[in-house]
Each structure stands twice: as structure tokens, then as C-alpha cells.
Structure 1
Amino acid sequence: MTNSNNRTGLTRRSVLRGATALGAAALILPASMRAAKAEPKKGGILRIGMGHGSTSDSLDPGSWDNAYSQVFATSRHNYLTEIDADGALQPEIAESWEASADAATWTFKIRQGVTFHSGKDVTAEDVVASINFHRGEDSTSAAKPIVDGITDIKATDSHTVVVTLDAGNADFPFIMSDYHIAIMPAVDGSIDPTSTDGCGAYVVDNFEAGVEARMTRNPNYWKTDRAHFDGIELLPIVDGAARQNALISGQVDVIDRVDLNTVHLLKRSSKINVLSVTGSQHYVFPMDSRAAPFSDNNVRMAMKHAVDREELVEKILNGYGSVGNDHPISTANRFHAGDAIEQRTYDADKAKWYLKQAGLTSIDLDLSVSDAAFGGAVDAGVLMSEKSAAAGINLKVTREPSDGYWSNVWMQKPFVASYWGGRPTEDWMFSTAYKSGVNWNESFWSNARFDELLASARSELDNDKRREMYVEMQGLVRDEGSTLIPMFASYVMAHSTAVATPEKVAPNWTMDGFRVAERWWFA
């Protein structure tokens, strides 16, 4: 069955059996990077400067919540499945999979001959324990919402895992690529979340939260065409200027989250290449819907209409992105609403109207921001304050310290800056951040109709019907949700010309889908 509305060519059959493809976002490379690539060669220590990382970072796979911990995770771990640079779902620890006709039972064949860094063979029991860690009432894992549908999981032999769901889920193999669900060794049926033992490309030599992670190439890595560096040094450099200076001075070889206000300085250098990858990353401003004033949707709608999205894309992103429409589904997703939902624009009069519906002529709001959320977040807050004033919204912008922002400000204060890398499927994105009660529902929004549609769309195998439901969900988040989503931002990274990359860099996450350590090499 092929759905004519499926712009990516994704079919139900291709999802249920083996590898599948998602529409890959465009990759913009400087001319010097578009030449034919040389064959990768081994050697050298890659030093990566990341715009995240703090003393609260943990080895616990359920806690990984920033790009630093995610790059660290994918450097030392493997997963059942992997999304490649074309957006296609590829086998990793699972070498193949099949589903029942209703997509409610999935059978994964586990790759043989793969070992953990400790020397232990990877078996079906390890896979079961690794997934079970994120399940259950007592789980605090950020991945809990996307595995909640599992009613049973068992190893039927040493290299076969059968997963039973409470309803069909055509996207289930995609979920198994989630960066939290790393395959880790089981001991007496459970994993040790504090262990660094993995089956990935690099072995951990040292990890000090907020300081560094040092790794050495796994000599027994089963992917013989990956993991070209002798070692990896992963350094948290949260300050954007310091991160950029570290690259210019040669202290690091690669950086993420390039400051778009000064990206032109990097482009001038003959020793640096700038990479811009368009994907599903979006910058957001969640409003705590549990208490006044944001418990009133009229106030939320007033704020949404009081933001000049085009100005933010032009001045904050310097054109490296596009306007958002207050829902998290990008044009790269299969069921993006497109023209079915009108694009929201700046309208001070309409914002005033919504304030009037709330019984107000003006309102004072506090917005907490930090460039820890995204580069330019502070400046974005200032621009929002200037434009919202015309609507009677007096927005006081507070610049919060970058250190501790994610533990002390995010989901602690009522109106903050945040960001999301997006997800490969609509269900994954909505289940992670918008379903009622999930850990990362950062605005604490709850909507019964949305939750009902989310469950129905997940098990619906007719793509036309799924599209209708996902479009309605996008509309609900846009018009009743508690998150302002003004812009989608390209992933902008930079690296020394001594570093070589694949011809195509993945758009699903920053740093080549978090796989920089195993996909790149020294020229």
C-alpha cells in the first residue's frame, strides 16, 4: 500500500520490513566542501567543542537532555536502529525486523558477533534489559512516553527479541533509534545506568561532568568503515564567543551552535569550513499553563500574535532558518500540515483583542532567557519585548546564567527560552513533549482531544487518515497549546579544514545526527 500523499515515498510495507526512508533536509556546504570526498583514513584525536554540557550531566541514559550528552552517548553506544544522512532508517544492533499485520507485534533479529567494550557478547537479553530500563511506573526516563505502549518484551532466543504493543505502531522501528535507548549490558536482567560500557565506536577513558569526556577507538568495533579517529575529546564550551575562539585558535577541531551574528568571521578563514544543515530544529518559548496568567489561552494567543517571526529569522538566525507556526512539526516530516493551517504573523491588534477576551488592556510578563537555550536567545527576548509592547504586553526580559539554566530555569520558571531538535516522526515529537503528563512537556499543557488523537494516529495504518489526525493535532498545539514556536533554525557547525566529512551530513540532529565521532575523519 502506497499513499499518494506520502511525499517521501514511505510505504507501510517498507516500514514494517527493514529499512525505511524519510525526506532528508537540504544540506548547504561551502564550495570547497562540495568536491569529491577522499576515502576516510584512520588516526588523530578529534577535539569537539559543544555548546552544551554542565556539572549536572549524568551517565544515566534516561537523563540525556542536551547535545553534549547525546554526542557522548552515540560515541560509546549503539542502538537497535540508526537514521542515516538521507533520513533512512537503517539496522544497527538489530540486523532486521518484521511486524505483524496490525503492527502491534515486532520481531527484531539481533546482530551476531557484536561485543561490549568489556568483551561480553551483545545478546537479546541485553536488548530487553536496555528497553525495560525506560519502562514502568517508577521510570523517570525521558524516553518513557515513547515506550509506554510496550505491554510485553521478551527474548525468544539468544538473538531474537519480540515486542508486543498495546496497539499498532507503524513507526515503532524509528523509536528504537532514540538516543536514550542505548543497548547496554544486562546483569541479572537489568542494566547499570552508571556504567560507561557500551558496544559503540569509542571506549570511555574519563568522564567528568561539565569538564570533559575522553574516549579511545574501540579496537573491536563491528563497523569496520566507521570510527576513524584514534580518540575523541568532548569539551563543553557553553559560551558562544569562547567556543568560536577555541576553533579559530586551534584548541578544538569542531564546534556546534555557531554564533550567527559572527558566522561571517569564520567564513573569512581559509582554515575553517562552515556547515549549515536544514532539519527540524526549532526554538521555542514555553509558557507554564498550570497557573495564571498562562492558564488562560487568551493570554497565550495574545503572546503568539505579538511576535514578529520574520524579524526573528532575519535578525537572530541571519536567514539560517524559517518562520515557525506554533507547532513543532517541520516541513521535513511526512505529515506536516502545510497550507492546511494558515501561517501566523505579527498582529498587534489581534494580540490586543485576545487580551481583551482575557479581561485585560495590558499585561506584565517575565521572560527568562539565556544563550544556553540557543544562540541569540537573549537578543530574541529583547526583540520580542520591543514588538509586544505595541500590543499592551510589557515583557520584562531577564538574562539567566548559562550554567545551571536547564536545572534552575527550564521547567522551573513560567516563561522561558528553550529549543528542540525535532523528531523523525510526528508521533515521536508529540509523545515526547506534548502528551499530557510526560516528563519533557515543558509547558505542562494538557488536552484530552490531543491525547485521544495521538493514540489513534499511532495505530492507524491508513496514511490518509493519519494525515488528517496529525494535521488536527498541529492545529490544536498551534491554537490551544502553551508553547510559542516562532522559528525553525538550521544546524550551523564549523570545523577545521583538517577535518573531513561525508558528502552528506545528516539533518536529523546536530553534529551529523550526533554521529560525528564515528562518521567524520581527518583529511
Structure 2
Amino acid sequence: MTIAGTAGSGREQRRSDPSMDRRSFLRSVAVGGAALAAGTLLDACGSPGAAQHSTAASSTGSASGTPRRGGDLRVGLTGGGSTDTLNPFDGGISAIGTARAQQLYQPLIQLGNNAQLQYVLAEEIVPNGTTSNWIIKLRKGVSFHDGKPFGADDVIYTLRTILTQKLGGATVLTPVDVKGLKKLDDLTVEVPMTSPFGSFPQQLASFWYFLYIAPDGWKQANPPNGTGPFKYKSFTPGQESVFVRNDHYWKAGLPYLDSVTIQDYTDPTSVQNALVSKVIDCTGQLSGAQMKSLQQSSGIVALPSRTGAIQPFTMRVDRAPFNDVNVRQAFRYIVDRPELIAASLGGFGWVAADVTSPYDPDYDQGLHRQQDIPLARHLLKKAGYDNDLKVSLDTSLGVSSTALSMAQVFAQQASAAGVTVTINQISATTFFSNDYTKVPFAQIYYDYSPYLAQVAQTFLPTSPFPETHFNDPRYTNLYYEANKTRSPAVRKEIEHEMQQIDFTQGGYIIPCFVDSLDAYSSKLAGYETGKVGEPLGNFNFEDFWFRS
């Protein structure tokens, strides 16, 4: 985090916070070579057509009018530190790190604001006869900031660097046969796999912030050199980053802005004050209370994005009392989901039913769960607990700004079922350094991912983030069956069976999908709400422009 003076005080002084927020932890561990099992999802993700959120605005918040060139965008964010870097391979370590990297570098593919696959430097990623071998066809006419043409050598160099150095993106790339990578021509790369990996495009898209493409031979000592819409001008870790327009950007007419300055702040209150006093033009990662306040502020547009992001309570299925499925199900029936959203999120969320990935086309829309205290009591008594179950819930504001309030609401609701929940609030450093996956009951946060990508991250024996230690042979076999099929209908049937297992046996309590909360000056245009969970529409500043 950062510390800033009062709004309008000019160049701010800053100190680093020794704690590590949840996102920094997940991304920085991500996971040094830990294996992600293969999956399949050959079709692009689409919206399930969920009902409109009562407070959500249109998907395009400020894109009306004719874009004009010029202007200097000032962005305020928290979460930076003195160890920040412009290394493309570390771009996803924090939200503010992604904001910087997204201006300089680009991935092959990413999740767009609509939660669908968005090809960027790749034009196509397709199986070559089998999902054990893939062909990546690259975009023509792209060059790096130094003028070097982009091509296959850069992709192979990036993939090999990430895998051999076991960097963040290695989590996704584990099935890649690094020695077999082959340049077919300047714009075509063959990627063989050690096992079928049908979800390769979706996995790349879900972890795009770890998979920015660097030029062949790039080293950390070299200056930043990407293909993105803005070029490096200056960078002071923990204070600010300044980028200027790339006049040779491959997207015609973009970007509109002359420059982007990303300023580091110590806390959300400082950012809010800076926005109100017009020191900055936009910010994200706001709380519900801040949103409601800013929605009443003149000259400011504050919009929630209805995302598929989750903040689950995690139950270890191999530790008492959660090794009894009756307890896990009882805890799920304890939750009054609308009340929790209202009380802890200020209403900025929508009801979930303990299963991830609502924007996946194979998400089972028939899954619903409501509070049922009598049923929860019955299940607890069946497990041998009759008004005498006591559990400790580990939480930290490093997970998210709403983690503690969600924990408090859950504890209050649990008392109605005779369960005593003791909240163990600890620092982010302690929470993550002691490994939150080791405790029986905790909280965590994830941006939206397609279903099989989320499963690979969390619910398999090989998953890098095994918070629940779920290890169901039938479930794992289904995952690999989904990996093998090329039939969308068969895959959907398999995934629905997996989701039923999540729903009836899994170790996640997912009360809701959490809105992403952004605010910006009414003079700013081009902003779009997004379903992924990244602030400010995936930091897509190339489309931003100022009204005259």
C-alpha cells in the first residue's frame, strides 16, 4: 500500500506496507511450478443471461459521443510498494501491477470485460488434430516499442522463460512440453502438450496478467519494451508510473490519451479524497460505503460491475468438523445470502449457490440455495453436534476490504443454528505466510474464471491453491473426461455432474458473486463495466478519452 498526503498536495511521499494483500499473495505464489491439471473448454465463454442487478448501470458507462485525442489520465490505486517492478513476468502480482503492465505489454489472449475470450496478440489458438497439440497463429503488423517486429520467437522465448524459471504463469503452462515448442513460421507457433489440455485458451485467458509477451532475449535489467498502447516514460516504485502514447500502436487510431499516470495511495480513503478533489480522474477497488457516497458527488460517475468474482468461505474436507459432509452442508444452509450481501457489501453483489463461474456457458442455472436453519440444525445433529459446535474462522483484510464484515455477518447468522464462530482476524502477512490453506476454516478471493479453469486452480489433487483439500476420485475423473471430449454437449453434461458434486459435497461456501466498484470523473469517457473483477474494466485505458 501507499501513503499519500492530503488531496491536492502535489507529488506524494510514500511508504511501503509490510503486509501482503491476498491478491499479491495468490499471484506471487502462482505457484512456482505447481501443476495445473488439464481441462477442456473449446468454446468461448458466454453470459448465462442472469437477471439485471438492481443497482447496475449499462455495460458501457461513458462511451457515448465522438472520441477525441489528447489529455493526461491520472489513475489512483492502492496496493503498491517499494519492491514494485515493470517486469512483464511480474505484471499480475497486484492489481496496481496489472494496471501498469496492461499499458506496456499484452498477452496472447485474455478475458474481456464481457467474460468471453478476447484474442490480443494471437489471432487464433486451435488444437492441431488433438488437444495434446496446439497451433497459435499470431497477429500481423505488431511491433514492440523499440520498433522490433513481434513474432513467433518472442512467444517461444516468453513461454520458455516462464516455465524454466517457474514464474507465475508456469501454473497455467505446466502441461506444455517446453522442449517441443516449435516455430512453424514467423507468425505461427506449435505447442505440444505432455497430456491433453483442451482448456488451453481458457487457462491462458484466465491468467493473462502473468502471461504478457516479452521480446526475444529481454532481461529484467532491460528497459520496458512491450507491444501495448503506451510506452514507458518514468517509474518510481511505490509512488507513480508515467506512460506516454505509443504512436505506432497496432490498433488504428488508439490510444486517444497522450499519457497515463498511475499514482500510488496508502488507503481507499485517500484515493476517494483525491477523486473528489480532482487530483485523479478515476479509481477502483472501492467499498460499498464509498460507492454510495461517490454516487452523490457532483462531477463523479460511480458504477458497479456485476462480476463473477467470488469470496468463498473455505472448509477443509479432511479436517474436523468439516470432514463430515453434513457439517459442510449445514454451514451452507446457515447463510442468509441476501442479508449478507446487504450487510457486508452494501448491496453490491448477487446471490450465489456455492458453485463458481456463473458466466461460463456450462454453468448450471438450476442451482439455488436459501437459508434453512431447521435443516442446518438437523444436519448438525446428524453429525453429532447439537448446539455445541464451535469453530474458528481465520480472516484478514488482506483477503479483501469486506472480508471481516462478511465474517461477522456469517458468525451472527451461525448462532441461530447453535454454532459459535470465533473470528480470528490476523494480519495479511501472518495470514498468507502461515499458509491459509492449512487452517480448517478461512476466507479467500478470486476473480472470475471459466469453470474448468477454476476447478484446476482449486479442487483437484494437483491444484496450486487447495484451500479445501478436496480429493474426490469421481470428480477428478470427470474433470479428465471433460478434458478428452470434443463434444460441447457431452462436456456440458460432465460439467453439470461436477457442479452437482460441488453443490452437495464441496468445501466452498460461496454466498454471492461480488461486484467490482469503480468511480471516475464525468469528463472521462470510454469506460466499460466488466464481469471479470479487475478494476476499471481490466484497466483498458487505451479506450479512455476526455470530453472537451
**TM-score, normalisation: structure 2:** 0.80
State which of 180, 183, 202 in structure 1 corresponds to 2:230: 202
In structure 2, the CA distance between the partners of 1:348 and 1:181, relative to structure 1 (3 Å rule), is: same
Moved more, 82-91 or 427-436: 82-91
Aligned-pair CA distance for 1:248: 1.4
- Report the counterpart of residue 416 of structure 1 in structure 2: 442
Q: Per the alignment, in what secondary structure is the counterpart of residue 117 of structure 2?
A: strand
1:100 equivalent to 2:157? Answer no
- Report the counterpart of residue 34 of structure 2 in structure 1: none
Aligned-pair CA distance for 1:78: 0.8
Aligned-pair CA distance for 1:76: 1.6
State which of 367, 391, 407 in structure 2 corresponds to 1:365: 391
Following the alignment from structure 1 to structure 2, what is the Cα–Cα distance between the partners of residues 32 and 87?
12
1:215 equivalent to 2:243? Answer yes
In structure 2, the CA distance between the partners of 1:49 and 1:290, relative to structure 1 (3 Å rule), is: farther
Aligned-pair CA distance for 1:182: 1.0
Aligned-pair CA distance for 1:335: 0.6
Following the alignment from structure 1 to structure 2, what is the Cα–Cα distance between the partners of residues 91 and 298?
44
- Report the counterpart of residue 185 of structure 2 in structure 1: 157
Following the alignment from structure 1 to structure 2, what is the Cα–Cα distance between the partners of residues 183 and 60?
7
In structure 2, the CA distance between the partners of 1:29 and 1:359, relative to structure 1 (3 Å rule), is: closer
- Report the counterpart of residue 6 of structure 1 in structure 2: none
- What amino acid sits opposite 2:345 in the alignment? L
State which of 460, 483, 487 in structure 2 corresponds to 1:458: 483
Moved more, 199-208 or 71-80: 199-208
- Report the counterpart of residue 494 of structure 2 in structure 1: 469
Alignment of 1:262-273 (within 5 A): 262-273=290-301
**Alpha carbons 2:438, 2:467 under 8 Å: kept:** no
- Report the counterpart of residue 511 of structure 1 in structure 2: 535
In structure 2, the CA distance between the partners of 1:214 and 1:402, relative to structure 1 (3 Å rule), is: farther
Aligned length: 498
Following the alignment from structure 1 to structure 2, what is the Cα–Cα distance between the partners of residues 35 and 305?
40
Following the alignment from structure 1 to structure 2, what is the Cα–Cα distance between the partners of residues 24 and 193?
45
Alignment of 1:284-295 (within 5 A): 284-289=312-317, 291-295=319-323
- Report the counterpart of residue 40 of structure 1 in structure 2: 67
Following the alignment from structure 1 to structure 2, what is the Cα–Cα distance between the partners of residues 167 and 245?
52
Aligned-pair CA distance for 1:193: 9.9
- Report the counterpart of residue 210 of structure 2 in structure 1: 180
Following the alignment from structure 2 to structure 1, what is the Cα–Cα distance between the partners of residues 379 and 60?
49
Alignment of 1:318-357 (within 5 A): 318-330=346-358, 332-339=359-366, 341=367, 343-357=368-382
**Alpha carbons 2:122, 2:138 under 8 Å: kept:** yes
1:487 equivalent to 2:512? Answer yes
1:497 equivalent to 2:522? Answer yes
1:245 equivalent to 2:270? Answer no
1:435 equivalent to 2:465? Answer no
**Alpha carbons 2:89, 2:167 under 8 Å: kept:** no
State which of 367, 383, 390 in structure 1 corresponds to 2:416: 390
Ranges in structure 1 where 5+ consecutive residues have no aligned partner: 1-13
In structure 2, the CA distance between the partners of 1:456 and 1:374, relative to structure 1 (3 Å rule), is: same
Following the alignment from structure 1 to structure 2, what is the Cα–Cα distance between the partners of residues 450 and 191?
42
**TM-score, normalisation: structure 1:** 0.83
Aligned-pair CA distance for 1:436: 2.2
Following the alignment from structure 1 to structure 2, what is the Cα–Cα distance between the partners of residues 144 and 486?
31
Ranges in structure 2 where 5+ consecutive residues have no aligned partner: 1-40
Cα offsets for 1:84-104 (capped at 9, x unmatched): 444553432123444334444
Cα offsets for 1:323-349 (capped at 9, x unmatched): 12112121x21011111x3x2222333
**Alpha carbons 1:309, 1:346 under 8 Å: kept:** yes
Alignment of 1:130-169 (within 5 A): 130-135=158-163, 139=166, 141=168, 143-151=169-177, 152-166=180-194, 169=197
In structure 2, the CA distance between the partners of 1:198 and 1:24, relative to structure 1 (3 Å rule), is: farther
Aligned-pair CA distance for 1:149: 2.9
- Report the counterpart of residue 407 of structure 2 in structure 1: 381
Aligned-pair CA distance for 1:443: 3.5
Q: Per the alignment, in what secondary structure is the counterpart of residue 246 of structure 1?
A: helix
Instruction: Quote the RMSD (CA, aligned, Å).
Output: 3.4
